[in-house]
Chains A and B, each alone.
Chain A
Amino acid sequence: MSSQPINRLPSPAKWTLPGWGLLQGMVVTAQNMVQSYYRKDRMTTVQYPEQRAPISPNFRNFPFLCYDGSDPVAGLRCTACSICEKECPPQCIYIVLDRDEAGKSLKRPKVFDIDLTVCMNCGICAEVCPFDSIYMDGQYELSTDDRFGGLLFGLDRLSQSADYHMQLRPEEATEVATRRKAEEDKKLAAQAAKAAKTKAEQEPKAKEAAESQPQGESA
Chain B
Amino acid sequence: MTSAPSMFSSSPVLESGPDNDQLLRVSLGPQHPSTHGVFRMNVVLDGETVVSLKPVFGYLHRNHEKIAENVTYLSSMPYTDRLDYICPLSNNWAYAHAVEKLAGIEVPERAQYMRVILAELTRLINHTAFAGFILGDMGAWGSALMYAFREREKILDLFEDLTGARMMANFMRFGGCRNDLPAGWAARVGVLVEQYGPFLDEMEKFLVGNEILLSRTQDVGALPKDALINGGITGPMLRAAGVNYDIRKVEPYGIYDRFEFRIPLGEHGDCYDRIMIRFLEMRESLQILRQALAQLPDGPFIHPKAKIRNFKPPVGEAYGRIEGPKGELGFHLISDGSTNPYRYRVRPPSFINLTLIEDMCLGLDLADVVVILGSVDIVLGEVDR
List residues of chain A with CB within 8 A of the CB of B202: 28
Residue interface bits A8-20, CB-to-B below 8 A is 1, else 0: 0110111100111
Whether A2 sits at the interface, judged by CB under 8 Å, is yes
* Complex CA–CA separation, A88 to B266 (angstroms): 45
Partner of A21, one of B74, B210, B242: B210
Within the complex, what minimum Cβ distance (angstroms) separates A40 from chain B? Answer: 14
Residues from chain B with Cβ under 8 Å of A3 in the complex: 244, 246, 249, 262-263
**Chain B residues, Cβ within 8 Å of A114:** none
- Determine if A136 is an interface residue (Cβ-Cβ < 8 Å): yes
Q: Which of A2, A28, A89 contacts B79 (CB 8 A)?
A: A89
Query: What is the interface of chain A, defined by CB distance below 8 A to chain B?
Result: 2-7, 9-10, 12-15, 18-22, 24-25, 28-29, 32, 56-60, 83, 86-89, 120-124, 127-128, 130, 136
A6 and B165 within 8 A (CB): no
Q: Which of these, B206, B208, B211, contacts A19 with CB under 8 Å? A: B211
Residues of A within 8 A of B276 (CB): 9-10
Q: Pick out which of these stretches binds chain A: B155-163, B230-238, B322-330, B364-372.
A: B155-163
User: Given A29-B143, A120-B78, A124-B78, A56 and B161 touching (CB < 8 A)?
Assistant: yes
Can you report 22 residue pairs joining A to B where beta carbons are below 8 Å apart? A5-B264, A5-B265, A7-B242, A9-B267, A12-B218, A13-B218, A21-B209, A21-B210, A22-B212, A24-B206, A24-B209, A25-B209, A28-B202, A32-B147, A58-B160, A60-B164, A86-B72, A120-B78, A122-B168, A124-B74, A128-B308, A130-B309
What is the size category of the interface that chain B forms with chain A? 35 or more
User: Given the complex of chains A and B, what is the CA–CA distance between A7 and B273 in angstroms?
Assistant: 11
- Min Cβ gap B322→A in Å is 17
Q: Would A120 and B209 be within 8 Å (CB), given that A9-B267, A12-B214 are in contact?
A: no
Residue numbers in B under 8 Å from A14 (CB-CB):
209
Cα–Cα, bound, A13→B309 (Å): 59
The closest CB in chain A to the CB of B163 belongs to A58
A180 to B143, CA, bound (A): 53
Known A2-B262, A32-B147: A124·B75 in contact at CB below 8 Å: yes
Check B76 for interface membership: any CB of A closer than 8 A: yes
CA gap between A12 and B77 in the complex, in Å: 42
| Residue of A21, A22, A60 most packed against chain B (CB within 10 A) | A21
Given A58-B160, A58-B163, A89-B79, check contact A121 B308 (CB 8 Å). no
Please give 16 more A-B residue pairs, beta carbons under 8 A apart, in addition to A9-B277, A25-B207.
Answer: A2-B262, A10-B204, A14-B209, A18-B211, A28-B205, A32-B147, A58-B161, A58-B163, A59-B160, A59-B164, A86-B72, A87-B75, A89-B71, A120-B78, A121-B168, A124-B78
Whether A32 lies near B143 (C-beta < 8 A) is yes
Q: Is the CB of B211 within 8 A of A21?
A: yes
- Which residues does chain A contribute within 8 Å of B277, judged by CB atoms? 9
Q: Which residues of A contact B206 (CB under 8 A)?
A: 24-25, 28-29
Contacts of B213 in A (CB 8 A): 21
Q: Does B226 have its Cβ within 8 Å of any Cβ on chain A? A: no
Contact in complex: A87, B244 (CB < 8 Å): no
Is B179 touching A58 in the complex (CB atoms < 8 A)?
yes
* Residues of the B chain whose Cβ atoms lie less than 8 Å from the Cβ of A32: 143, 147
Are A56's CB and B160's CB within 8 A? yes
Complex Cα gap A28–B144 (Å): 10
Cα A174 to Cα B182 with chains together (Å): 16
Min CB distance, B234 to chain A, in Å? 16
CB neighbours (8 Å) of B264 from chain A are: 5-6
Is B78 touching A89 in the complex (CB atoms < 8 A)? yes
> How far is the CB of A162 from the nearest CB of chain B, in Å?
20
The one of A6, A20, A22, A124 that contacts B170, using a Cβ cutoff of 8 Å:
A124
Task: Closest A residue to B260 by CB, please name it.
Answer: A2
- Give the complex CA separation of A123 and B260 in angstroms: 36
B225 an interface residue at 8 Å Cβ cutoff? Answer: no
CA distance A14 to B211 in the complex (A): 10
B178 within 8 A of A: yes
Chain B residues within an 8 Å CB radius of A12: 214, 218, 272
- In the bound complex, what is the Cα–Cα distance between A62 and B147 (angstroms)? 32
Distance A87 CA – B266 CA, assembled complex (angstroms)? 46
Cβ-defined partner of B210 (8 Å) among A4, A6, A13, A22: A22
Q: Closest CB of chain B to A9's CB: distance in Å? A: 5
From A2, A13, A22, A25, give the contact of B261 (CB < 8 A).
A2
- For A4, the closest partner residue in chain B by CB is B262
Interface string of B240-266 (1 = CB under 8 A from A): 001010100100000000001111111
